[in-house]
């Protein structure tokens, strides 16, 4: 559920250090600005924010005149290319770098040979020591990412989704076979996702597509609307809108040579695990489905629980987590009125959050500053009100529902029992399999904590044993 958790990414930067002491003295006059040239380059640093270690990359380049600009990457949070609109070097070799997008500032001193900038990162009213050293970002190791040549055909495709007048771009991989084969459509999680569901250097849908196609299953994966080669926009789209995109993909795939139209299934990850049951219960041509961390909680409850778990994993103590959960629950309660226009709701929620600012621990207001905009979006308002259970209770096709034991975004302790109880009412019996996969996170990576900071650090893209079991289930199920 990336769209629902993106604002948590900055929490580890804002709750783990004591607030700086007030300074009563007048600041000393600043040295004159000099040419940025000595500071231009790429710098690496590691920010220690409580238990979280966040690897940062700063790229400084010339802007206009003597001044510089640049970008910041937070590798472990998957936040890349954050603009740093101002970088200034002064005669005393002090460097100031500002990132308005995250309300952060770095101040430090460039050493004599310009190999290091030693200073402080300030965000949310708190200071964190940070040493930046010239260098190049580490090469990400992704051993599962498939490399050509491939023992199957891969074709780029374009699908017309006529209901919303958009075109969906993607890739169809097909095994070499003289007989029609089963096929699946991969459905991405929330947020702007490409056909590979690229995240933090991982391409889980590429890995899944490769494994399934090698097992004899055709696979269609698509860029989300407004992403990559697909037209349209995600800005006002809800989950129901996105389901129409997958419906168009089913219609298209059923007509492709070599695909058995009676053996088309859906594999949905996260939000894709909401879309798959919607289609499986509204169409007769979904032969089976796999739900990978598909939510069973109603959206409002899930978002509150998810926020608390991710905050704790990012270094927040129990008191801060409790305040965040209660504050978010209050905002959600005010966001539920569908009659309030989006702009008006944003203002209402921002006012409600500001009214609580004096009660919040240091850094929490800043960490939650993006929530009013997020909660007022069409996607989020629909998500908060949606209860997946009634839809799951109406599923009639074979279903494999997998949850990650250490998933903090769709926590198995709350979601697996709801999914199990709902699927028990379907009459599917043994045709419905629900399993919590030991030791994996929301992306089904073997992990230690399940926190967001681990995602990029883990080399494995998708747990191999789970991938093998999923492929075997699809092949066996589609053969019946």
Total number of residues shown for the chain: 480
Q: How far is CA 78 from CA 5, 124, 280, 476, in A?
A: 12, 20, 32, 36
Residues 6+ apart with CB under 8 A from 248: 159, 160, 161, 162, 163, 168
The two tokens of residue 71 are: 């970008």
pLDDT of residue 28: 59
Residues in Cβ contact with 300 at an 8 Å cutoff, skipping those fewer than 6 apart? 329, 332, 336, 384, 385
pLDDT of residue 480: 74
User: Is residue 189 within 8 Å of 1, Cβ to Cβ?
Assistant: yes
- Report which secondary-structure segment, H or E, holds 109: strand 104-110
Q: What pLDDT score was predicted for residue 368? A: 87
Q: What is the pLDDT along the chain (480 residues), one digit of tens a residue?
A: 445 443 334 433 333 333 333 344 455 578 999 999 999 999 999 998 766 678 899 999 999 889 999 999 988 777 788 999 999 999 999 999 999 988 899 999 999 999 999 999 998 778 899 999 999 988 889 999 999 999 999 999 999 999 999 999 999 999 999 999 999 999 999 999 999 999 988 999 999 999 999 999 999 999 999 999 999 999 999 999 999 999 999 999 999 999 999 999 999 999 999 999 999 999 999 999 999 999 999 999 999 999 999 989 888 889 999 999 999 999 999 998 888 999 999 999 999 999 988 888 877 887 788 899 999 999 999 999 999 999 999 999 999 999 999 999 999 999 999 999 999 999 999 999 999 999 999 999 999 999 988 898 899 999 999 999 999 999 999 997
User: Kind and range of the H or E element at 130?
Assistant: strand 126-134
Q: Is the peptide bond before 149 cis (omega within 30 degrees of 0)?
A: yes
Report d(CA 116, CA 108) in Å as an integer.
9
User: How confident is the model at residue 19, as a pLDDT?
Assistant: 34
The conformation of residue 395, written as its DSSP 8-state character, comes to -
Distance, in Å, from the CA atom of 428 to the CA atom of 385, rounded to the nearest integer, reads 27
Q: Reduced to 3 states, what is the DSSP secondary structure of residue 401?
A: strand
Classify strands 41-49 and 52-62 as parallel, antiparallel or unpaired: antiparallel
DSSP letter at 156 equals: E
Cα distances (Å, whole numbers) of residue 238 to 289, 383, 389, 446: 21, 8, 18, 31
229 is written with which tokens? Answer: 């080669």
- 344 burial level (CB within 10 Å; 0-12, 13-18, 19+): exposed
Taking each continuous run of H as one helix and of E as one strand, the counts in the chain are 14, 17
Confirm if 246 and 275 have CB atoms less than 8 A apart: yes
DSSP letters, 267-328, are EEETTHHHHHHHHHTT-S---EEEEES---S-HHHHHHHHHHHHHHHTT--HHHHHHHHHHH
The C-alpha atoms of residue 264 and residue 60 are separated, in whole angstroms, by: 50
HSE (side-chain half, CA atoms, 13 Å) at 165: 0
Q: Are 107 and 120 in contact (CB under 8 A)?
A: yes
- The token pair that represents 31 in the structure block: 């040295």
Name the β-bridge partners of 379: none
Nearest to 320 by CA among 1, 17, 40, 37: 17
Q: Helix or strand or coil: residue 467?
A: helix
Q: Which 3 state secondary structure label does DSSP give 195? A: coil
Q: Give me the pLDDT at residue 23, please.
A: 43
Helix then strand then coil, in percent of the chain rounded to 5, is 35, 30, 35
Tell me how far apart the terminal alpha carbons of the chain are, to the nearest angstrom: 33
What is the structure's pLDDT at 24?
Answer: 45
Q: Which of 478, 449, 472, 445 is nearest to 207 (CA)?
A: 445
């Amino acid at each position: 559920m990336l769209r629902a958790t993106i604002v948590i990414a900055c929490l580890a930067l804002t709750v783990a250090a004591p607030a700086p002491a007030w300074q009563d003295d007048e600041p000393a006059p600043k040295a004159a600005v000099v040419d940025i040239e000595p500071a231009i380059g790429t710098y690496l640093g590691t920010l220690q924010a409580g238990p979280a270690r966040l690897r940062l990359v700063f790229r400084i380049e010339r802007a206009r005149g003597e001044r510089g600009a640049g970008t910041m990457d937070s590798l472990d949070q998957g936040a890349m290319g954050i603009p740093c609109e101002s970088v200034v070097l002064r005669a005393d070799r002090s460097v100031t770098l500002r990132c308005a997008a995250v309300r952060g500032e770095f101040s430090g001193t460039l050493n004599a040979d310009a190999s290091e900038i030693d200073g402080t990162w300030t965000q949310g009213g708190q200071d964190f020591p940070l040493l930046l050293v010239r260098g190049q970002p580490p090469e990400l190791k992704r051993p599962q990412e498939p490399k050509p040549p491939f023992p199957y055909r891969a074709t780029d495709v374009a699908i017309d989704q006529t209901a919303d007048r958009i075109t969906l771009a993607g890739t169809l991989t097909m095994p070499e076979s003289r007989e029609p084969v089963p096929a699946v459509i991969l459905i991405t999680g929330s947020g702007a996702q490409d056909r590979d569901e690229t995240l933090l250097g991982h391409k889980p849908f590429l890995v899944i597509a490769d494994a399934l196609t090698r097992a004899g299953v055709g696979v269609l994966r698509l860029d989300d609307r407004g992403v990559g080669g697909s037209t349209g926009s995600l800005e006002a789209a809800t989950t129901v809108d996105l389901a129409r995109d997958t419906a168009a993909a089913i219609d298209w795939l059923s007509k492709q040579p070599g695909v058995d139209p009676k053996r088309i299934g859906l594999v949905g990850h996260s939000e894709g695990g909401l879309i798959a049951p919607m289609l499986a219960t509204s169409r007769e041509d979904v032969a089976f489905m796999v739900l990978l961390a598909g939510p069973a909680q109603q959206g409002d409850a899930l978002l509150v629980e998810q926020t608390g778990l991710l905050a704790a994993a990012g270094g927040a103590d129990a008191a801060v987590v409790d305040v965040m959960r209660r504050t978010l629950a209050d905002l959600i309660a005010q966001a539920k009125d569908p009659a309030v226009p989006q702009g008006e709701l944003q203002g209402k929620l921002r006012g409600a959050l500001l009214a609580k600012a004096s009660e919040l621990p240091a850094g929490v207001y800043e960490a939650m500053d993006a929530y009013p905009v997020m909660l007022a979006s069409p996607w989020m308002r629909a998500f908060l009100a949606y209860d997946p259970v009634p839809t799951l209770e109406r599923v009639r096709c074979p279903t494999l529902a997998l949850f990650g034991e250490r998933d903090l975004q769709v926590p198995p302790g709350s979601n697996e029992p709801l999914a199990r109880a709902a699927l028990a009412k379907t009459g599917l019996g043994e045709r419905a399999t629900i399993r919590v996969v030991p030791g994996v996170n929301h992306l089904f990576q073997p992990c230690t904590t399940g926190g967001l900071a681990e995602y990029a650090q883990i080399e494995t893209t998708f747990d191999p044993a789970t991938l093998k079991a999923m492929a075997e289930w699809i092949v066996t199920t589609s053969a019946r």
